[in-house]
């Protein structure tokens, strides 16, 4: 007969593990002998080795008892189910590792890859980092509100960057962070924005459902106004011309579509 220490040694586990298996009912706990010690026989060694083998293979302890009592077909089926669950868990862990790797760059925190790529494109166009940080914070909020459509939204933004006016707009807005409050170049910014807005109206892109509620739009607009000393003045100029909003542009009156726009 074996002591608990000898049993553990023969089965390749710790005494603590043996006691744990006793507590959860996987390994029957023998009666104590006259000296007050529990002793184990060869059957206990075999069962403990089987328990250890299943546990080492990744079988959850909650299912070990079931497999120990199963016949050959039930055992094979149970192992296949466990293997399927383990493969799913492996995929989940691999996804987690990928997300952690992306988080090594702080910009990936709370941002999908499509937005990160878009911000990198802005950097490639020479947009200043301070302005990109403002954009990043706005996109973090937008991505959280419309996670299922953010990639299509960003795809549209990439298309817009193919327009020289949009590239010029980003260049001006980026540089405007250092302009004096009364800088006349803000009118040039308004001119470019108006051209872009009219094109959006003509393309039927203004007024479409964007999946964002009005309160959230107001939050984004107020954030922009607070972040730039020129934002309020720019919005005032545009409103004088019949436009409202920044995040969501209000449709220009139809009669303005045929008016002469500021030259490109």
Q: pLDDT tens digit string along 58-81?
A: 888 888 888 888 888 888 888 888
Indicate the residue among 81, 102, 123 that finishes a domain.
Answer: 102
pTM of the model: 0.56
The answer to whether residue 264 sits within a structural domain is no
- In this structure, the answer to whether residues 97 and 129 fall within a common structural domain is no
Nearest to 83 by CA among 52, 59, 62, 61: 59
Q: Are 217 and 126 in a shared domain?
A: yes
Residue with tokens 């299912």: 63
pLDDT per position as a tens digit, 166-189: 999 999 999 998 899 889 999 999
Residues of the chain with confidence (pLDDT) below 70: 99, 101-109, 206-210, 251-264
Range of the domain at 97: 4-102
């Amino acid at each position: 007969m074996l002591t608990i220490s000898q049993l553990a040694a023969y089965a390749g586990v710790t005494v603590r593990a043996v006691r744990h298996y006793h507590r959860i009912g996987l390994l029957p706990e023998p009666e104590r002998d006259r000296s007050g010690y529990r002793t184990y026989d060869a059957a206990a060694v075999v069962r403990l080795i089987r328990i250890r083998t299943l546990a080492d293979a990744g079988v959850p302890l909650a299912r070990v008892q079931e497999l120990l009592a199963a016949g050959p077909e039930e055992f094979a089926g149970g192992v296949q189910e466990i293997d399927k669950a383990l493969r799913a868990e492996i995929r989940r862990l691999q996804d987690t590792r990928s997300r952690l790797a992306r988080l090594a760059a702080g910009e990936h925190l709370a941002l999908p890859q499509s937005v990160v790529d878009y911000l990198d494109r802005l950097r490639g166009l020479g947009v200043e980092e301070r302005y990109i940080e403002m954009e990043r914070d706005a996109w973090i909020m937008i991505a959280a509100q419309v996670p299922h459509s953010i990639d299509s939204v960003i795809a549209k933004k990439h298309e817009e960057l193919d327009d020289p006016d949009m590239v010029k707009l980003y260049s001006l807005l980026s540089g405007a962070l250092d302009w004096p409050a009364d800088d006349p170049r803000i009118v040039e910014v308004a001119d470019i924005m108006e051209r872009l807005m009219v094109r959006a109206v003509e393309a039927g892109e203004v007024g479409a459902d964007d999946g964002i509620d009005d309160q959230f739009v107001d939050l984004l607009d107020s954030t922009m106004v607070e972040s730039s000393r020129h934002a309020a003045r720019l919005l005032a100029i545009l409103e004088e011309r019949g436009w409202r909003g920044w995040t969501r542009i209000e449709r220009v009156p139809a009669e303005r579509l045929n008016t002469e726009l500021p030259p490109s």
